[in-house]
Amino acid sequence: MPRDPHTLLKQAEKKLSGGDGFWGFLSDKSGSDSDGADLLEKAANAFMAENSFVEAGKAFEKLAAVYRDKLELDSSAAGAAGSAIEAYVKAGDAAAAARCFELLRSPALKKGQSNRVDRYGRLLAGLYEKTLGDMKSASLCYDAIAEEYESNHNPHNARKNRIQAAATRAIYFAQLVTAGTNPHESAKDLKYVERTLMKLAQDSYNTNEMLFRLGVVYLITGDSNDYDKAAAPAAPAAASVAAQATAAGSAAGTLAEEANAALDAQTRLDYGFTRSREGALVRDLAAALKADNLPQFVKLVMQYPGTNEESKAWNETMLMLAGGYKWKGNAVKAEIERQKRQPFEDSQNEGQQQSWGNQPPPQQYSQPQYQSREHAQYPPEKQGANDLEPDVPDANEWA
């Protein structure tokens, strides 16, 4: 069997087209399609082995169509679509990977396979987020994964992906605001972030972290009124969700229910948040921005530990965007570098200012408490001419 992927691909196409010579029309078509699928899979794997990821993706994508349309093997079609996504992601072809992701999410293929949608959806989201910097598309991927989990009654994993969807959309919103472009688009994304984070905050799990993120989002715009919103973010977010429901009118449906729940919860959420560590941090950040106090702002950014690495990275990204919008140019980065150097410079300055002639005398340690055998101090009545002789009692003492 030839190992060249191009040769395998040609053989697969010949099988799938029924081109088996004069007697091809008499052969079993399903057998020909099955053989063609096998050859396609071998060709795709051979392309992967050669790191020809685009060609591999095309072969896997065609294989998925053969499994679905000709052989009616939906599970195999889903597996081939996932392999195509993986190949296209390695090639950096987001459009092709997204096309295969939609194929994977089709009702015939997914059939409750939430884990498969999660795995390949995250691959695609990672390509958008980490490689291409397309936060809006990454957010849509996480949303799609969350919807899949919700349809299969898995709220924990759905919530996890909703958090990432809101996080990436918030960064996209911040990028639009700080770039000064498309205010209408940024307003739509802000509404999405408010609605999503407000809904997440109403769960008992990690409420203050969600409200903290919402508060940070309000710090982005550079507007003094939004700085005030950041300190108690549940109330303005609830008002935003209610306004969205009102605008939707009779079509609001679930949105109207979310609005009512948000309005009912806003006071309770803000009350707890303002007394939390996260609430204090947002208030301090807002105060530093209002007072145009760059050193204090940077100090707060550097001190926030985050609940995990992802949380800390998101916080730093958002606050760097907020600071960069407030203080133009590289002022924030320069201040961060200055504060990182400050402890070292302070220690050097202290060392240079210290007078080495006035050093305190070395510490006087006490003498050891033990005595050597050679200098043992015997009682006076026992000492004789030879102090080293053992003290042997007189024979009369034994009488």
Q: Which helix (H) or strand (E) holds 354?
A: none
Cα–Cα nearest to 314, from 168, 207, 199: 168
Over residues 133-157, the mean pLDDT reads 94
> Which pLDDT value is given to residue 119?
94
Domain assignment of residue 94, yes or no: yes
- Please state the domain count of the chain: 1
Question: Distances from the Cα of 106 to the Cαs of 110, 124, 274, in angstroms?
Answer: 6, 16, 45
Structural domain includes residue 85? yes
pTM for the full model? Answer: 0.80
Beta carbons of 285 and 300 less than 8 angstroms apart: yes
> What pLDDT does residue 229 have?
94
Assigned domain for 144 exists: no
Residues 6+ apart with CB under 8 A from 297: 285, 288, 289, 319, 323, 326, 332
Is 71 domain-assigned?
yes
Please report whether residue 292 resides in a domain: no
- Structural domain contains residue 166: no
Cβ–Cβ under 8 Å, residues 322 and 297: no
81 and 103 Cβ atoms separated by less than 8 Å: yes
Query: Between 110 and 119, where is the model more confident?
Result: 119
Q: Is the residue at 113 inside a domain?
A: yes
Q: Domain limits at 7?
A: 1-19+26-132
Q: Are 40 and 17 in contact (CB under 8 A)?
A: no
Q: Indicate which CATH number applies to the domain containing 81.
A: 1.25.40.10
Q: How far apart are CA 336 and CA 338, in angstroms?
A: 5
In tens, the pLDDT along 275-330 reads 999 999 999 999 999 999 999 999 998 887 777 888 889 999 999 999 989 998 78
**In the block, which residue shows the tokens 């597996």?**
79
Dist. CA 55–CA 4, nearest whole Å: 13
Residue 79 lies in a domain: yes
d(CA 262, CA 234): 8
Cα-based distances in Å from 94 to 77, 141, 167 = 20, 12, 20
The pLDDT mean for the chain works out to 84
**Alpha carbon of residue 398 to chain centroid:** 89
Q: Which two tokens stand for residue 234?
A: 């549940």
Q: Is the pLDDT of residue 225 over 50?
A: yes
Say whether pLDDT at 382 is over 70.
no
